[in-house]
């Protein structure tokens, strides 16, 4: 018999039972569910990652929908359990859904939600922060100070890289990659080289306009170039930020060979997906090239790092916090809750999952729609006319 799971209950007499596998930031998401007659159960178990068995126990015999996390294994077993309990809705509190077997969800008629449109600037800001931290050796210097080792100014103490006038390379110029590029170009007057299967016309126009502004003010204009290959970015850029999707074509996109292509003092940033980088190869490259630096928010085998990475002073590592701004995390919670609520109430699916502002406006009721259902087409769900 499964052990009981600790929960916190809101609106115990609600008609619809919605389970959240984790406590989430803010209270608006709870209130929105309660206002629509939902009983909300939040798991408070002192366990970072819930097992499949834990989540089955949470689902129980009757459950209308579940809000889950990227760290959970949502496959055949869980979707079968949710379907048996009468549930037709699941949402990740994340834009990614690599942890979800969408085919299994389709088989059991369960809508799968995610939360795009609210992470763009927040994720780009962290990528920019890691770029600066790595370039100026901020974490090393902080640890040095805290250890009581500073006994006076020295000419060579923690000399890093100047970003102004250097070249930033972006691999994957979608919403997040383009936002990061704009921050680095405008914030540090860096030149841009990017690689993407699709031309980023808006990004190119932005850099062109900013370059013209600088020229008009007597400064050196910034430039942009769309690379013909990823290798061209690796060879030319001083800072390289990864923003591709994760699929079989981008697994270990950065490996021993591609690292060898980069400049000896280059900086590699990854806020996309951990397996895009061959972490073992990266550790070895960091060892062999002490002036090469990396800033990582994601890891190949989260929550673990490959052996040796934690010892690398030329790597800045943070625990998957790219979306961890208050506004974004509260927004993600709201969108995930509304995905589940929308399916329970029979609402259509929002037409543009990246235009989420109407759902986040706290001064007005959210639209009667599910913000983002990734398998809406497979399930034949209607699209909102709003």
Active site residues: 273, 302, 320
DSSP secondary-structure letter at 367?
A: P
Nearest CA to 243 among 209, 292, 198, 291?
198
Phi and psi at 92, nearest 5°, equal -75, 140
Angle (nearest 5°) at CA 224 between 222 and 225: 155
Q: Is 371 helix (H, G, I), strand (E, B) or coil?
A: coil
Q: Is 363 helix (H, G, I), strand (E, B) or coil?
A: coil
Contact call for residues 69 and 93 (beta carbons, < 8 A) = yes
Number of H helices, E strands in the chain: 14, 13
CB < 8 Å & 24+ apart, contacts of 206-211:
206/182, 207/181, 210/185, 210/186
Angle between the 28-35 and 326-345 helix axes, to the nearest 10 degrees? 20
Nearest CA to 270 among 242, 250, 251, 249?
242
Nearest CA to 273 among 137, 94, 131, 134?
94
Angle (nearest 5°) at CA 316 between 311 and 318: 105
Contact call for residues 10 and 34 (beta carbons, < 8 A) = yes
The residues, any chain, with a CB within 8 Å of residue 47's CB and separated by 6 or more, are 54
Question: Residues 173, 175, 178, 183: what is their CA dihedral angle, to the nearest 10 degrees?
Answer: -150
- Residue indicated by tokens 């990475």: 309
Q: Please give the C-alpha separations between residue 202 and each of 124, 160, 278, 343, in angstroms, as whole numbers.
A: 17, 32, 32, 35
Nearest CA to 124 among 188, 202, 183?
183
């Amino acid at each position: 018999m499964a052990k009981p799971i600790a929960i916190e209950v809101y609106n115990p007499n609600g008609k619809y039972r919605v389970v959240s596998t984790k406590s989430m930031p803010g209270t608006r998401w709870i209130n929105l569910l309660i206002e629509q007659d939902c009983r909300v159960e939040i798991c408070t178990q002192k366990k970072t990652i819930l097992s499949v068995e834990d989540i089955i126990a949470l689902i129980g015999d009757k459950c209308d929908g579940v809000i889950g996390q990227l760290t959970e294994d949502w496959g055949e077993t869980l979707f079968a359990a949710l379907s048996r309990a009468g549930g037709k809705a699941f949402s990740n509190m994340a834009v990614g859904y690599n942890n979800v077997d969408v085919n299994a969800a389709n088989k059991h008629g369960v809508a799968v939600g995610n939360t795009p449109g609210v992470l763009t600037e927040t994720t780009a800001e962290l990528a920019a922060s890691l770029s600066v931290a790595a370039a100026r050796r901020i974490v090393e210097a902080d640890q040095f100070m805290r250890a009581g080792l500073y006994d006076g100014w020295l000419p060579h103490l923690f000399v890093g890289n100047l970003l102004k006038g250097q070249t930033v390379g972006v691999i994957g110029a979608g919403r997040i990659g383009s936002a990061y590029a704009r921050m680095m170009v405008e914030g540090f007057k860096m030149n841009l080289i990017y690689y993407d299967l699709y031309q980023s016309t808006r990004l190119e126009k932005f850099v062109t306009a900013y370059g013209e502004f600088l020229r008009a003010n007597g400064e050196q204009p910034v430039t942009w170039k769309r690379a013909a290959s990823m290798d061209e970015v690796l060879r030319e850029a001083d800072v390289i930020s990864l923003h591709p999707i994760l699929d079989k074509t981008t697994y270990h996109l950065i490996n021993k060979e591609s690292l060898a292509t980069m400049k000896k003092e280059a900086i590699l940033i990854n806020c996309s997906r951990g397996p895009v980088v061959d972490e073992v190869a990266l550790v070895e490259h960091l060892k062999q090239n002490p002036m090469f630096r990396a800033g990582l928010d994601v890891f190949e085998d989260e929550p673990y790092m490959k052996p040796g990475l934690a010892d690398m002073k030329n790597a800045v590592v943070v625990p998957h916090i790219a979306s961890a701004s208050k506004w974004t995390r509260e927004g993600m919670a709201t969108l995930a809750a509304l995905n589940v609520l929308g399916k329970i109430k029979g609402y259509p699916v929002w037409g543009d999952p990246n235009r989420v502002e109407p759902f986040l406006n706290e001064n007005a009721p959210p639209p009667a729609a599910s913000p983002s259902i990734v398998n809406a087409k497979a399930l034949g769900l209607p699209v909102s006319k709003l």
